[in-house]
Amino acid sequence: MWSFPLFMFALKVGSALSCGNMIVLKTAKVTPLTAFYAAKLLLEAGFLPNVLNIVSGFNQTVGAASRVTWM
């Protein structure tokens, strides 16, 4: 089950990093450790610490923390 989340990570993060973008990645709630391990490998490879930011948690909790109320 871990290979598909790793593929999705590589697909999204690889293309964004090759264009020079910083990334905020929301992991799947059932497989967050795959992204954390891949991010650890990126740090060991020499990427700067704040180039890849990972948000992990359940959708309602994470969404409620970032929701903006419009008037």
What single string gives the DSSP state of each residue in 9-29? Answer: HHHHHHHHHHTT--EEEEPPT
pLDDT exceeds 80 at position 62: no
- Say how many domains are in the chain: 1
Task: Look at residue 70 and tell me if it is in a domain.
Answer: no
Task: Look at residue 71 and tell me if it is in a domain.
Answer: no
Name the residue range of residue 50's domain.
3-10+21-65
pLDDT exceeds 70 at position 8: yes
Query: Distance from CA of residue 13 to its chain's centroid?
Result: 8
Helix 3-18 to helix 32-45 angle (10° resolution) is: 40
At 40-61, the pLDDT tens digits run 999 999 999 889 998 887 777 7
Eight-state DSSP code of residue 39: H
pLDDT value at residue 66: 58
Least confident of 29-38, 42-51, 59-68: 59-68
Task: Look at residue 16 and tell me if it is in a domain.
Answer: no
